[in-house]
Amino acid sequence: MSDLTHLSLADARDALTSKKISAVELTKAHLSAIESARILNCFITETPELALKQAAASDERIAGGQAGPLEGLPLGVKDLYCTNGVRTTAASRILDDFTPTYESTVSGNLIRDGAVTLGKLNLDEFAMGSSNETSAFGPVISPWKRKGDPGAKIVPGGSSGGSSAAVAAHLCLGATATDTGGSIRQPAAFTGTVGVKPTYGRCSRWGIVAFASSLDQAGPIARTVRDAAILLRSMAGHDPKDTTSVDAPVPDYEKAIGASVKGRRIGVPKEYRLDGLSAEIAGLWDQGVQWLKDAGAEIVEISLPHTKYALPTYYIIAPAEASSNLARYDGVRYGLREPGRDITDMYEKTRAKGFGPEVRRRIMIGTYVLSAGYYDAYYVRAQKVRSLIKRDFDEAFAAGVDAVLTPATPSTAFAQGEQGSTDPVEMYLNDVFTVTVNMAGLPGISVPGGLAANGLPLGLQLIGRPFDEETLFSLASAIERAAPNFDFPQPWWR
């Protein structure tokens, strides 16, 4: 019954409600796929017993007519979400065997709606990275292969690389992820999946290990736009435990799938046509414009003049917030502790041993830009530039633009070790098209646009008005229908 893993989430839901399949058999099919894909290193912790127990309970609820919107659907959870009774690592050594006694609001919402949780997915350490190579549990290998290069281990993107790879390899029907600068949309683009970064405040951040609190947002990765819409509806919603979560009704996003996009005004920002943008990415972008035109949308060129400052701004604000958030890892209340001759020595040794090189680097940059004498020159200036970046978008939307179309990434996925080993900034450039969205708190979606000449997926990004995820789902489904079909990789890893 291994073909059960090839159902879309929506089809699996329908097959469950019409009792063509059971949640237990659907879960078993995914557990066996996970078992045979350990070489990809998608999961940090597998929870098969828990999953089977949840599946059995789902079958009972379905039989009793009590099915929730995600009843019996097997999902993966990024290991940045705290899960009650299940070890949560943030892919860092410093959390050691930390086992929460509570459930994050978003993963709790999925369980409330009947989802089956298969385990905890690998990521870049504390979600800091764009290739899933900074995980203390080793890199994730993408199921995708570069044409004519069977030996290269392709990265699944990051930081939600376990989520994107597991969804692309059909190890789960969908997965949770988080996005601070592109960590949902870039890995989705690298793996031919759909990734949604909702509006800041749409999903609760409570119980998700914090990286940069003014930027972090939870969202889904799935294989179709419809599946992503179904997942977001369950994940989203107001939570009194997160004061930045917004008290606004959650629409039925699935209804936006296939809705007409006729007359929608789509902005194409000229500043995203970077010097040296590859012909293939530029070609995909033009193609995306054409697909939306064919669907009846109106295309307008827009200007977002502060675009080129977004990434430098991010590399001040995100490390500053991280250095503050990660101060809690001190070897006292949870996680790793290294003995020292006094308490300061204990802190310093614990943090040196527990944090990997990229996390240490970002904490140090953040500490520097917040330190006396540099705070105004770096941090306050960056917060002002961030205001300007947001204002660029506000003005475009005020002028009648409904959404913005851009490439999702500046290239296709690369192989392990190919980027950032000598200069950390090289890796940071992966987020050049996605990071503006976090700066402005807007929703963004990454949707596949087909395959590049090297055989790897390419993605387009749509950026929407605050809390207008529905328009993004309509536009993304129009692109999904128009884009060339492709098959996910055959399971060479078995």
**Residue 344 beta carbon to other proteins: minimum distance, rounded to whole angstroms:** 7
- CB of 60 or CB of 426, closer to other proteins: 426
CB closer to other proteins, 309 vs 488? 309
443 binds other proteins (CB under 8 A): no
Closest approach, Cβ 421 to other proteins, in A, equals 11
User: Is 463 among the residues that bind other proteins (CB under 8 A)?
Assistant: no
Q: Which stretch binds other proteins (CB under 8 A): 75-83, 146-154, 374-382, 411-419?
A: 374-382
What does the chain come to in residues? 494
Quote the least distance from Cβ 209 to other proteins, whole Å. 13
Phi, psi dihedrals of residue 220, rounded to the nearest 5°:
-95, 155
Stretch that binds other proteins, among 109-117, 127-135, 171-179, 345-353 (CB under 8 A): 345-353
Distance in Å, CB of 341 to other proteins, minimum: 8
Active site residues: 78, 159, 183
Cα-flanking dihedrals φ and ψ of residue 265, to 5°? Answer: -95, 120
Q: Least separation, in Å, of the C-beta of 1 and other proteins?
A: 39
Question: Binding other proteins by CB under 8 A: which of 64, 342, 484, 485?
Answer: 342
Q: Which of 43, 81, 98, 137 binds other proteins (CB under 8 A)?
A: 98
Stretch that binds other proteins, among 34-42, 142-150, 303-311, 472-480 (CB under 8 A): 303-311
Cβ atoms 327, 319 nearer than 8 A: no
- Per-position x/- string for 413-442, each x denoting binding to other proteins as judged by CB under 8 A, each - no binding: ----------xxx--x-----------xx-
Sign of CA dihedral 162, 163, 166, 171: positive
Single out the residue of 332, 399, 400, 486 in contact with other proteins (rule: CB under 8 A). Answer: 332
Which residue is associated with the tokens 């949308």?
Answer: 297
Stretch in the footprint of other proteins (CB under 8 A) among 18-26, 139-147, 351-359, 409-417:
351-359
The reply on whether position 410 binds other proteins by CB under 8 A is no
384, 400, 417, 421: residue in contact with other proteins (rule CB under 8 A): 384
Is residue 337 involved in binding other proteins (CB under 8 A)?
yes
283 binds other proteins (CB under 8 A): no
C-beta of residue 144 within 8 angstroms of C-beta of residue 457:
yes
- The reply on whether position 278 binds other proteins by CB under 8 A is no
- The gap between the terminal CA atoms of the chain, to the nearest Å, is 16
* Cα dist from 67 to 17, 18, 73, whole Å: 8, 11, 11
Residue 399 sits in the site that holds other proteins (CB under 8 A)? no
The CB-of-426 to other proteins minimum distance in angstroms stands at 9
* Interface mask toward other proteins for 137-166; x: CB under 8 A: ------------------------------
* Choice from 18, 101, 485, 490 touching other proteins (CB under 8 A): 101
Residues 233 and 268: their CA atoms lie apart, in Å, by 28
Nearer to other proteins, 182 or 201 (CB): 201
My answer on whether omega of the bond before 159 falls inside 30° of 0, hence cis, is yes
**Out of 364, 399, 481, 486, which residue is the one contacting other proteins (CB under 8 A)?**
364
Please give the residues from 40 up to 79 whose contact with other proteins meets the rule CB under 8 A: none
Query: Is 475 a binder of other proteins (CB under 8 A)?
Result: no
Smallest distance, other proteins to C-beta of residue 357, A: 9
With a CB cutoff of 8 Å and minimum separation 6, the contacts of 467 are 199, 202, 246, 248, 443
For residue 439, what are the CA distances in angstroms to 107, 335, 358?
A: 25, 31, 21
Q: Site residues for other proteins, window 178-237 (CB under 8 A)?
A: 200-201, 214
Interface of this chain with other proteins, residues 3 to 32, rule: CB under 8 A: none
Rg (CA), the chain: 21
